């Protein structure tokens, strides 16, 4: 069946997800962490205590969403639309959470349909909410069902140089490392599958680009301390290919931080970003 607008408000069954320090390390190298970030990339370096990248929340959180209720779509034509995370405490090196998700929107963009969902995750060990996530999926070819177009608010970026900017170089095989954290969608590894979706070659996971962006925010604004990272919301605006260079630009705008990420050609690949920290 096509996308189902009547699924809005449907809540999923709670699911549990556990992780180890090794999972956190694999995620760290998947988003490009290296020898200058040993607190995230190693677990046994002298005088350095292992930490977990805040954006690891996209790997362990987001569970319990009743996706089947939202209808069906061609996975080769689906891309990530938006992603948000909110951390109420620092993610422990190992642990277990219970997550419950909800479909909060099914929107008609004409040529595409959009599914929006949220999830809240409780730390099983403490009984306290550890994180909240929100996401949208942009499903090309699934629009035209006459539904609500959804929110249209946009951030206006200042007409000046960014207050902070940091550039990371992705590797040609970046997606092959990142996929080991759980997203085995062949869109990111199989050239023939990528071609079915209209791409010249496999694209980088949107959440990998999101992780690179989160690294930039963490180091530029939180002095590399995961305990200061609170929330990050952004929209995926253009595909990234493994091997691209990513520049994260940040503006201190009144009482908030806004950001966007561009590739080596100046194309914006992550847009409409907002960030909070302590």
Q: Which residues contact 167 (CB under 8 A, 6 or more apart)?
A: 245, 246, 247, 248
Mean pLDDT along residues 48-52: 98
The string over 42-76, giving b where at least 16 C-beta atoms fall within 10 Å of a residue's C-beta and e elsewhere, is ebeeeeeebbbbbbbbbbbbbbbbeeebbbebeeb
The reported pLDDT for the residue numbered 271 is 98
What domains lie within the chain, and their CATH numbers? 5-277 (3.10.129.10)
Query: Given this model, what pLDDT does residue 266 score?
Result: 98
**What's residue 12's pLDDT?**
96
Look up the pTM and report it. 0.94
Instruction: Say which range, 13-22, 67-76, 168-177, 265-274, has the weakest mean pLDDT.
Output: 67-76
Check whether 75 has a pLDDT greater than 80. Answer: no
- pLDDT level of residue 62 (50, 70, 90 thresholds): very high
> For residue 135, what is the enclosing H or E element?
strand 129-140
Give the pLDDT score at 254: 76
Quote the radius of gyration of the chain (alpha carbons, Å): 18
pLDDT band with cut points at 50, 70 and 90 for residue 272: very high
Q: Is the pLDDT of residue 76 over 80?
A: no
CA distance 245 to 251: 20
Contact, 276 vs 257, CB < 8 A?
yes
Question: What is d(CA 229, CA 278) in angstroms, rounded to the nearest whole number?
Answer: 7
Q: pLDDT at position 150, please? A: 87
> How crowded is the C-beta side of 137, counted as CA atoms within 13 Å?
22
Relative to beta strand 164-169, strand 15-19 is unpaired
Look at residue 1 and tell me whether its pLDDT is greater than 70: no
pLDDT tens readout for residues 236-256: 999 999 999 999 999 998 778
Mean pLDDT of the chain: 95
Query: Could you give the angle at the alpha carbon of 165 between the alpha carbons of 159 and 166, nearest 5°?
Result: 155
What average pLDDT score do residues 152-158 get?
Answer: 91
pLDDT of 152: 81
Which residues are catalytic, by number?
A: 183, 188, 203, 206
Lowest-confidence segment of 77-81, 124-128, 177-181, 226-230 by average pLDDT: 77-81
The whole-angstrom separation of Cα 77 and Cα 75 is: 5
Weakest mean pLDDT among 42-51, 83-92, 191-200: 191-200
β-strand partners of 166: 248
Question: What pLDDT, on the 0 to 100 scale, is given for residue 230?
Answer: 97
Q: Taking 90 as the threshold, does the pLDDT of residue 78 lie above it?
A: no
**91 CB neighbour count, 10 Å cutoff:** 26
In this predicted structure, what is the pLDDT of residue 249? Answer: 98
């Amino acid at each position: 069946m096509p996308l189902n607008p009547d699924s809005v408000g449907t809540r999923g069954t709670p699911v549990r997800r556990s992780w180890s320090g090794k999972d956190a390390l694999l995620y760290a190298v998947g988003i490009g962490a290296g020898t200058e970030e040993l607190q995230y990339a190693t677990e046994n370096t002298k005088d350095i205590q292992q930490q977990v990248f805040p954006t690891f929340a996209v790997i362990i959180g987001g569970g319990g969403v009743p996706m089947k209720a939202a209808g069906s779509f061609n996975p080769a034509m689906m891309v990530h639309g938006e992603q948000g995370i909110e951390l109420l405490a620092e993610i422990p090196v190992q642990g277990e959470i219970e997550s419950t998700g909800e479909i909060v929107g099914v929107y008609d963009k004409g040529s595409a349909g959009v599914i929006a969902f949220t999830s809240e995750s409780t730390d099983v060990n403490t009984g306290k909410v550890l994180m909240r996530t929100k996401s949208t999926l942009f499903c090309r070819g699934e629009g035209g069902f006459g539904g609500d177009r959804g929110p249209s608010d946009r951030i206006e970026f200042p007409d000046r140089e960014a207050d902070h900017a940091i550039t990371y170089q992705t590797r040609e095989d970046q997606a092959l490392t990142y996929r080991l954290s759980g997203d085995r969608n062949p869109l990111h590894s199989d050239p023939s599958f990528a071609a079915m979706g209209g791409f010249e070659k496999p694209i980088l996971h949107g959440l990998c680009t999101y992780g690179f962006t989160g690294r930039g925010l963490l180091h530029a604004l939180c002095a590399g301390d995961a305990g200061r990272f609170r929330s990050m919301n952004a929209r995926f605006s253009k595909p990234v290919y493994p091997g691209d260079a990513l520049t994260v630009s940040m503006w201190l705008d009144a009482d908030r931080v806004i950001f966007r990420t561009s590739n080596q050609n100046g194309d914006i690949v992550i847009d409409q970003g907002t960030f909070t920290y302590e």
